[in-house]
Amino acid sequence: MISRAKSEALFAEALNHIPGGVNSPVRAFRAVGGQPFFVNKAKGCRVTTVDGDELIDYVGTWGPAILGHAHPKIIKAVQDTAAHGTSFGIPNPLEVTMAKLICASAPSVHKVRMTNSGTEACMSAIRLARGFTKREKIIKFDGCYHGHTDSLLVRAGSGALTFGNPDSAGVPAAFTQHTIVLPYNDVDAVKAAFAANPGQIAGIIVEPVPGNAGLYLPKPGYLEFLSQITTQDGALLIFDEVMTGFRLALGGAQQRFGITPDLSCFGKIIGGGLPVGAFGGRAEIMDCLAPLGPVYQAGTLSGNPLAMAAGIANLEELQMGGAYGQLEELGQQLAEGMSSAAKAANIPLTVNHCGSMFCGYFTSEPVWNLADAMKADRERFKKFFHGMLNEGVYLAPSQFESGFISVAHTPADIEATASAAAKVMKSL
């Protein structure tokens, strides 16, 4: 049982000064009940709470910590860079190095522009797609999250071809009128949307492996289909690889599945734990950005030297080889361990995983999209989450979030996690 006294006191104080006591909603534990704990340090695959408890961490800063927390090369890179200044607002050499690393790793990216977050990257890519194609409509998929941009905070309407309705207060309906929301992995729905909107769709934005409704994978041929239909129609295919970029492979999901999108969005790993984002693609599209073209995009801290230094250290370490094979093995071990624990306890569980990303849904049915994910037993997940936390394992505090494995995890850590799962499953 983990201690909570100091965390509870901090949360009570935070509630007086921060809306909901947190700076990002999922941290509030509303999806699982109870109160969040506070952390003051992390190392490798473990975080340490303010009450002194050490937890095996599968959140990993929500994705960036692919090398584990406080990797010595990243820490040194940030320290060395900070000694020369934290921000300039002037071009710096690290921006060029980062751009070259991204372009070399993702061949679909000929040119890249840095931003400060994944939200900014996706927002800018959408604007660029509209500016380049001179079209207004965008297709996105139910369950895919592309940041809190007004036009992308959308839920599906009553039918597959209806325009989306705002998914947040404060977003005027007019802001989402050009966003079409479709079910993921549904080829016919995409065909129908293009047929109903001839010559009007600027592009499709998609998480190639959606990680914001848990985790589900593209069916065989689905991503290829999206590439083909956008090419045929003159629309652009935008891969949101904020999560999957440099995680599922050095070249991201596009390398893993052999797809060449027109634009790609990145974040998380390319900042090594610091705030960052980027979007890039074909040169002819990217050259539509100011100062060369008419599509405006800017950012005071874009290309910040600290974020660039941390990200470069992260990517260079990943380039050295071996990391992705290790992550594949750990991901497979965890999926098998969780599945075995559930089977032994006679608990229905579907474990989806792709490399170092994973999610377990408490359902006996396969999960291919948001509608499938919503069938999972969320009450059982709540009990499982708190049970695992009491066993010293920190999973994402929501059924609808992906888990992340780092190279700092060991087979022994995975085995300990599976053993904890077996114990908790028996109590459900």
Please tell me whether residues 291 and 216 are part of one structural domain: yes
Shared-domain flag, residues 249 and 105: yes
Q: What is the mean pLDDT of residues 171-184?
A: 84
Q: Kindly state whether residues 81 and 91 are assigned to the same domain.
A: yes
Positions annotated as catalytic residues are 145, 240, 268
Which of the listed residues 319, 353, 385 is the one where a domain comes to its end?
319
Of 152 and 224, the one with more pLDDT? 224
Same domain, 36 and 50: yes
Residue span of the structural domain in which 194 resides: 72-319
Mean pLDDT for the chain overall: 94
Cis amide linkage into residue 291, ω under 30° from 0:
yes
CA distance 337 to 346: 14
Q: What is the pLDDT averaged over residues 273-290?
A: 98
pLDDT of residue 162: 39
Query: Which residue among 270, 296, 319 closes a domain?
Result: 319
Give the residue-averaged pLDDT of 260-268.
98
Q: Are residues 10 and 104 in the same domain?
A: no
Query: Could you give the CA distance from residue 287 to residue 285 in angstroms, rounded to a whole number?
Result: 5
Q: What is the CA angle 136-121-220, rounded to 5?
A: 75
Q: Are residues 210 and 81 in the same domain?
A: yes
Specify the higher pLDDT residue, 239 or 2: 239
Least-confidence region, from 43-47, 141-145, 174-178, 238-242: 174-178
Residues 216 and 335 in one domain: no
Answer yes or no: are the C-beta atoms of 291 and 268 closer than 8 Å.
no
- Asked whether residue 234 falls in the same domain as residue 380, the answer is no
Contacts 24+ apart (CB under 8 A), 414-420: 414/330, 414/333, 414/334, 414/337, 415/333, 415/337, 416/56, 417/56, 417/58, 417/334, 417/337, 417/388, 417/393, 418/333, 418/334, 418/337, 418/338, 418/340, 418/341, 420/388, 420/391, 420/392, 420/393
Distance CA 94, CA 29 (A): 38
Whether residues 162 and 297 fall in one domain = yes
pLDDT digits (tens, 9 = 90+) for 295-341: 999 999 999 999 999 999 999 999 998 999 999 999 999 999 999 99
Bridge partner list, 181: 140
Residues in the chain: 428
What CATH number did the domain enclosing 143 receive? 3.40.640.10
- Residue that is last in its domain, among 299, 319, 339: 319
**Sheet strands side by side (includes 137-141):** 111-115, 277-281, 263-267, 236-240, 201-206, 137-141, 179-182
**Domain check: are 330 and 416 in the same one?**
yes
Q: Are the beta carbons of 120 and 299 closer than 8 angstroms?
A: yes
Domain count, the chain: 2
Question: What's the confidence (pLDDT) of residue 155?
Answer: 62
Reply yes or no on whether the pLDDT at 156 is more than 90: no
The reply to whether 306 and 210 lie within a common domain is yes
97: which residues sit within 8 A by CB, 6+ positions away? 308, 312
136 plus 58 within the same structural domain = no
Query: What's the CATH number where 394 sits?
Result: 3.90.1150.10
